[in-house]
Structure 1
Amino acid sequence: MTTPPALLIAGIGTRDERHAAAFQAFVRELAARHPDLPVAGGLTGPGSHPLSDAVTRLVGEGVTRFAVVPMTLIPAAPPRDGIAAALAQEAERHADASFASARPLGPHRTLLSLLERRLDEALGNRPRLPSDRAETTVLLVGDGSPLPEANAEVHRAARLLWEGRGFAGVEVAFASLAAPDVASGLDRCAKLGARRVVVLPYFLFEGDALERVRQQAEGWGLAYPEVEVVSADVIGPARELADLVMDRYEEVADTSERAGFSAEAHAFAHPDAHADVR
């Protein structure tokens, strides 16, 4: 029997220690749930818990094949940046290792269900009438990216969240790097007639970005008391999120077994080989 590849969970680098700690706690929990599978995780770029340390540790334990699951909701960056570039560097550092990467996590139906749960929790998690949702507008807040394609994925998630769930509407805002910001997003909701708005962060883990979004929403709500503004929680390290990561792992592991890991390693060592490494 062929030994399965290790699971390498890759996140975008951050100087936000709370976010980094939440990411690493999620990795540890996933490893504990799958003791027979080599599991490690790390972040690209600056900050703690670097991806290179996770790869080095597993290579030291004899791992030569990695199935990589990006902990991102949207395509994070062009191939020369972010996770793809970090994996290319690891392929160069560890010539005997091979890497195959899964798709971003969002907007998967599992995540949409978790977002819906966060909405219900924010609204009190009590039995509600259909009219309650019909009178509620959702402001889905993404991280924001300089890439229009990445921001478009947040709009796609908003549309999928709105379909069939009975909310008055689902609008989009961004925490940084893209327009509209939270205040402008709430302005739009109010102009569309909203009297209750749930500000729903499209983030995997808590951190400074979440606090900024909440502060901006609270400030806007104080200025416009005629609109009820409610802040929801992040997706968080729910069991369903862990299951989705494992689904992505199995998908890329099975596909790469059929195609061969050596071709994937070449793609990461030479990012120009694919326009979209996912």
Structure 2
Amino acid sequence: MKPEGSDVGLLVVGHGSRDPRAAGEFRRLVGAVRERAPGLAVEGGFIELSPPPVSEAVRSLVEGGVRSIAAVPLMLLAAGHAKDDIPATLVRERLTHPGLSFRYGRALGIRPELLELVDERIRAAVPEGEREETAVLLVGRGSSDPDANSDLAKVARLFYEGRPYPLVEHAFVSLTPPDVPTALEKLRRLGFHRVAVFSYFLFTGVLEERIRHQSASFAAEHPGFGVSYAGYFGPEARVADLVLERYREALRGDIRMNCDVCVHRVALPGFEEKVGAPATPHYHPDEPGHHHHGHHH
């Protein structure tokens, strides 16, 4: 995994959560990445909400002799965090550590192994004989970035292809419609009596719990309409493998970020003001001297 005499380290960058279970799952995933790459220096840090901040993870790598860092954003889809906040944070770290070089990998993205994991979770929640009558609802975080939101629609379509489920819809738990109750109501009106809901999230947390509760509440309010909750990805071995794949890609310089419909480059309707807007780092609450302004989830 590590070239001879190399002083390259892997920085896994997470979003952070108010839920300590989410931070624990992130640490388990970083541990799984370490196990798969003995000899590679691996550290994980967060841009907000959970300790340790990115700056602390970078400091640990530097103290261990790393001179070049490949950073991989631990995000399923590339929205503002992966496109904006993390690169800006890395620029800040480069100013703090002159002589340290950075490469930046891409978000985990739309991948067959993630679709396989969704499939496994849903098959575990829906008995084989019921699959052909069960609709699937994939629920994402939701973003102010149309590109990321449309990626979830693409995931839903790819998941539908070649599988027995008659309909695969998508919804979002925050920031953009349709929300979970709206999507479930649509499926109910289309005549479905059974829906499997999967949270398109790496880890648990406030929003994942909200999806779980909203699904259960909707089912309770509509007798005869069954909702099976299929969970979320969790700190899975295949996700750890994908992080290493993104690390290797960053080292090779083969980064294929989708810039064709990126709001930072293309004037999309209603988002024109974002074109060319400067990227700004998040300031983590655990970093000295920085007040975190108005960023709420």
Q: Which TM-score band (shorter chain)?
A: 0.7 to 0.9
In the alignment, which residue of structure 2 is the partner of 1:261? none
Percent of aligned positions with the same letter in both sequences? 40
Correspondent of 2:120 among 113, 117, 120: 117
- The CA distance in 1 between the partners of 2:82 and 2:64, in whole Å, is 28
Aligned pairs (5 A) from 1:17-36: 17-36=20-39
Q: Secondary structure at 2:204's aligned position in 1?
A: coil
Aligned pairs (5 A) from 1:142-221: 142-221=140-219
Q: Deviation digits for residues 222-254 of structure 1, max 9, x if unmatched?
A: 111221110011111121111111111111112
In the alignment, which residue of structure 1 is the partner of 2:59? 56
- The CA distance in 1 between the partners of 2:156 and 2:32, in whole Å, is 29
- The CA distance in 1 between the partners of 2:83 and 2:229, in whole Å, is 36
CA distance 1:231–1:78, change in 2 (3 Å): closer
Correspondent of 1:41 among 41, 44, 48: 44
Please give the root-mean-square deviation of Cα atoms over the aligned residues, in Å: 2.1
In the alignment, which residue of structure 1 is the partner of 2:246? 248
Task: Please tell me whether the aligned partners of residues 79 and 147 of structure 2 are also in contact (alpha carbons under 8 angstroms).
Answer: no
In the alignment, which residue of structure 1 is the partner of 2:136? 138
CA distance 1:195–1:246, change in 2 (3 Å): same
- The CA distance in 2 between the partners of 1:141 and 1:195, in whole Å, is 19
- 1:80 shift after superposition: 7.6
- 1:79 shift after superposition: 7.3
Which structure 1 segments of 5+ residues have no match?
Answer: 257-271
The number of residues matched between the two structures is 255
Q: Which amino acid aligns with 1:119?
A: I
- 1:61 shift after superposition: 1.3
Which structure 2 segments of 5+ residues have no match?
Answer: 255-275, 280-297
Q: TM-score, normalised on structure 1?
A: 0.86
CA distance 1:76–1:11, change in 2 (3 Å): farther
Q: Secondary structure at 1:42's aligned position in 2?
A: strand
- 1:54 shift after superposition: 0.5
Q: Secondary structure at 2:121's aligned position in 1?
A: helix
- The CA distance in 1 between the partners of 2:42 and 2:101, in whole Å, is 15
Q: Which amino acid aligns with 1:176?
A: S
Q: Which amino acid aligns with 2:199?
A: P
In the alignment, which residue of structure 1 is the partner of 2:94? 91
- 1:150 shift after superposition: 1.5
Structure whose residues are more often helix by fraction: 1
Q: Secondary structure at 1:68's aligned position in 2?
A: strand
In the alignment, which residue of structure 1 is the partner of 2:234? 236
Q: Secondary structure at 1:140's aligned position in 2?
A: strand
Q: Which amino acid aligns with 1:66?
A: I
Q: Given the alignment of the two structures, is residue 108 of structure 1 paired with residue 108 of structure 2, yes or no? A: no
Task: Please tell me whether the aligned partners of residues 20 and 49 of structure 1 are also in contact (alpha carbons under 8 angstroms).
Answer: no
| Misfit runs of 4+, over 6 Å | 272-275
